[in-house]
Amino acid sequence: MTMHYTYLTWSLLLLAIWGGVFVANRTEKKKMLFVSVSTMPLGLTEPLFYPEYWFPPTLFDLAARTGLDVESLIFSFSVGGLASALYGIGQRTDMELMPECTKRQKRHRFHKLALASPILAFIPMFIFLELNAIYIASISMAVGGLATFLCRPDLFKRMIWSASIFVGLYFLFFAAMSWSHPDLVSLYWNNNAISGWTIVGVPVEELLFAVTFGFMWGGLYEHLGWYRSFRT
């Protein structure tokens, strides 16, 4: 594969992993598909990161010409579903709606605010702080995850395990991509604007993104829809 199609190729490989997890996941297919479709539009935020954070070559040079690209949509679709469903693989669980009396508990008064907290955190930081968007996004997702935990402490175990499993998968995936193209990070990451630190060729910023993304997305579906899971 040529360097020009690296982002596309590895995004498609990530989509293939998504397909494998989707097949293996017996009880959360609906959830996984819903979260993936809901996460896919985040690929449209690519202009916030390109080229300030990175600038990989994309199909038809769309990112260079418009700031948008097909690869980011595929990537967002894949990581959304994976982060939400990896914890459920191999477990026999089901979901049910929380009773109305539980919804009226004191901690749930700010349900909508908690769901909106990542956006509410991101916007002022992006406007007023001179931070790279990757750090702002990671902090915002951490805020969203913390808000979810405060509203739904019953989801904490799922969120922690989702973050751990997802960052492990992401690390192996990115390390393989860096191994296949050793110059990828040095060529297409804006290392002057970030730390420049890597672990086995993986920028620490990517791992920060992965752990905060997995932490927030691990409980997002249940938090959004007032679901709770139980073993069957």
Which pLDDT score, from 0 to 100, does residue 1 have? 46
Least confident of 94-108, 109-123, 149-163, 213-227: 94-108
Provide the whole-model pTM.
0.93
pLDDT tens digit string along 139-155? Answer: 999 999 999 999 999 99
Q: Quick check: helix, strand or coil at residue 54?
A: strand
* pLDDT class of 210 with cuts at 50, 70, 90: very high
Q: Of the candidates 32, 31, 28, 25, which has an alpha carbon nearest to the alpha carbon of residue 89? A: 25
- Whether the bond between 51 and the residue before it is cis, its omega within 30 degrees of 0, is yes
182-193 exposure pattern, b = at least 16 Cβ within 10 A, e = fewer: eebbeebbbbeb
Task: For residues 84 and 29, give the distance between their C-alpha atoms in angstroms, rounded to a whole number.
Answer: 10
Structure tokens at 207: 């791992």
93-97 and 198-199 beta bridge pairing = unpaired
Task: For residues 218 and 83, give the distance between their C-alpha atoms in angstroms, rounded to a whole number.
Answer: 6
pLDDT tens digit string along 48-104? Answer: 999 999 999 999 999 999 999 999 999 999 999 999 988 877 666 678 888 887 777
